[in-house]
Amino acid sequence: MQNRDKLYINGQWVESTGKDFIDVVNASTEEVMGRIPAGTSEDVDAAVAAARSAFEGWEATPVEERAAALTRLHRGLTERGEEIAVTITGEVGMPLKLSRRVQAGLPSAVMESYARLLKDFSFEERVGNSLVVREPVGVVGCITPWNYPLNQVVAKVAPALAAGCTVVLKPSEVAPLTAFILAEIVDGAGLPPGVFNLVTGTGPVAGEALARHPEVDMISFTGSTRAGRRISELAAPTVKRLALELGGKSAAVILEDADLAAAVKGTVNSCFLNSGQTCSAHTRMLVPESRYEEAARLAVETASSFTPGDPGDERTRLGPLISEVQRERVRTYIRQGTAEGAALLLGGPEPPEGLEKGYYVRPTVFGRVAPGMTIAREEIFGPVLVILTYRDEDEAVRIANDTTYGLAGAVWSGDEERAMHVARRLRAGQIDINGGRFNLLAPFGGYKQSGYGREMGRFGLEEFLEVKAIQQ
Active site residues: 245, 279
Residue whose C-alpha is closest to residue 7's, from 16, 203, 141, 52: 16
Contact 191, 72 (CB under 8 A): no
Centre a 10 Å sphere on the Cβ of residue 82 and count the other Cβ atoms it contains.
12
Beta pairing class for 21-25 and 32-37: antiparallel
**Residue 358 CA to chain centroid, in angstroms?**
23
Rounded Cα–Cα distance for residues 195 and 212 (Å): 20
Burial code (b: 16+ CB inside 10 Å, e: under 16) for 274-286 equals bbbbbbbbbbbbb
The 8-class DSSP code of residue 454 comes to: -
Rounded Cα–Cα distance for residues 361 and 382 (Å): 8
Beta pairing class for 250-254 and 241-245: unpaired
Centre a 10 Å sphere on the Cβ of residue 298 and count the other Cβ atoms it contains.
20
Burial code (b: 16+ CB inside 10 Å, e: under 16) for 165-198 equals bbbbbbbbbbbbbbbbbbbebbbebebeebbbbb
Centre a 10 Å sphere on the Cβ of residue 43 and count the other Cβ atoms it contains.
28
Centre a 10 Å sphere on the Cβ of residue 394 and count the other Cβ atoms it contains.
10
Contact 166, 52 (CB under 8 A): yes
Amino acid at 358: G
| Residue 101 phi, psi (nearest 5) | -80, -40
Q: Is 338 exposed, middle or buried (0-12, 13-18, 19+ CB in 10 A)?
A: middle
